């Protein structure tokens, strides 16, 4: 099969399509003929050598496609079914991918829309779980207009929380459409939030990693009420919890998101698609930060 790989760290030019042996599913897993695979900021960090030190590496953890092989014990899907989900190991940006966590594609979505969901949904649900977001409280989401941020806003609204979300002025109508009360980020953030919530907020989630943890701690009444997924160093400095991808994963959210999509309570727009062969160009677009919505690779 063809798969995205790199054998040295560097810019997008190090990415290439290589021939690799076809993978096969283990117990409880399925293999799909990939039709679309999601791109995330972690992809370019990985390519730059900021994550895993080993070489060579394959790319991608989320994909959507058609089941073409099932592992032992799989009874909930069959060959030919449309599914999306997360792989157990990297390598989902390829002709074939093994999914360890999967669910049927919501009927209203195509492959690209489904491939946009898994990483953002799991990350957002995990952060909200660890933060303890529930009904009745007010949660501040810093970086609310990005993929994970907008997922967190919508899932928090579903849980019954009041959501205040930070974003640039151009994103405020979008944030309102998700159910959030928008505020501009930057200097004076705490004052703008207090104009909406004079007593501060109950909880704060930092998705953007933009150096605002001291303000979030002050607004939420202490570091115990703040969680970041984007500022590891800041979390250590300010006593804030950091949520990584290895502990307490919210895989249940993959199975539940379809109902929210079909009922109109959740959406994650695809910003731009690229053929798998143009993965380097997709990385350039992602790193430039000029595309709102998810970047997705399409596999013919």
Give me the count of residues in the chain: 300
Q: Please state whether 188 falls in left (phi above 0), alpha (psi between -120 and 50) or beta.
A: left
pLDDT tens for the chain, 300 residues: list them.
999 999 999 999 999 999 999 999 999 999 999 999 999 988 999 999 988 899 999 999 999 999 999 999 999 999 999 999 999 889 999 999 999 999 999 999 999 999 999 999 999 999 999 999 999 999 999 999 999 999 999 999 999 999 999 999 999 999 999 999 999 998 999 999 999 999 999 999 999 988 999 999 999 999 999 999 999 999 999 999 998 766 678 999 999 999 999 999 999 999 999 999 999 999 999 998 878 899 999 998
pLDDT at 246: 62
pLDDT at 245: 62
pLDDT at 289: 85
Same fold, 2-116+269-298 and 121-242: no
pLDDT at 248: 78
Q: What is the CATH number of domain 121-242?
A: 3.40.50.720
Residues 149, 165: Cα–Cα separation, whole Å:
8
**Distant-in-sequence, close-in-space partners of 258: CB < 8 Å, separation ≥ 6:** 103, 104, 105, 106
DSSP bridge partners of 283: none
Domain locations along the chain: 2-116+269-298, 121-242
Q: How far apart are the first and last CA of the chain?
A: 13
The H or E element spanning position 142 is strand 138-142
pLDDT at 88: 84
Beta strand 226-228 with 241-242 is parallel
Residues 282, 47: Cα–Cα separation, whole Å:
13
Compute the Cα dihedral for 107, 291, 57, 123 and give only its sign: negative
Domain topology for 2-116+269-298: Quinone Oxidoreductase; Chain A, domain 1 (3.90.180)
């Amino acid at each position: 099969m063809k798969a995205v790989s790199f054998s040295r760290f560097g810019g997008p030019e190090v990415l290439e399509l290589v021939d690799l042996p076809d993978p096969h599913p283990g117990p409880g897993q399925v293999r799909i003929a990939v039709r679309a695979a999601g791109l995330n900021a972690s992809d370019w960090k990985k390519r730059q050598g900021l994550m895993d030190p080993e070489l060579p590496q394959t790319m991608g953890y989320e994909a959507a496609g058609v089941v073409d092989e099932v592992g032992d014990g799989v009874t909930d899907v069959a060959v030919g079914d449309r599914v999306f989900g997360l792989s157990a190991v990297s390598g989902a940006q390829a002709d074939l991918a093994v999914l360890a966590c999967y669910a049927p594609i919501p009927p209203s979505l195509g492959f690209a829309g489904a491939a946009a969901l898994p990483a953002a949904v799991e990350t957002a649900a995990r952060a909200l779980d660890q933060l303890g977001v529930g009904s009745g409280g007010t949660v501040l989401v810093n970086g609310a207009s990005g993929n994970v941020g907008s997922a967190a806003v919508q899932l928090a609204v579903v849980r019954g929380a009041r959501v205040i979300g930070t974003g640039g002025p151009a994103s405020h109508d979008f944030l309102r459409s998700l159910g959030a009360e928008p505020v501009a980020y930057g200097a004076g953030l705490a004052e703008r939030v207090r104009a909406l919530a004079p007593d501060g907020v109950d909880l704060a989630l930092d998705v953007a990693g933009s150096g605002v943890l001291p303000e979030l701690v002050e607004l939420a009444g202490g570091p115990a009420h703040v969680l970041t997924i984007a500022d590891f160093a800041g979390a250590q400095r300010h006593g804030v919890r950091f949520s990584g991808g290895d502990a307490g994963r919210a895989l249940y959210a993959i199975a539940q998101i379809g109902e929210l999509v079909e009922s109109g309570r959740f959406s994650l727009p695809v910003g731009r698609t690229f053929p798998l062969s143009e993965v380097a160009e997709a990385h350039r677009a992602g790193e430039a930060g000029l595309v709102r919505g998810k970047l997705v690779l399409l596999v013919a």
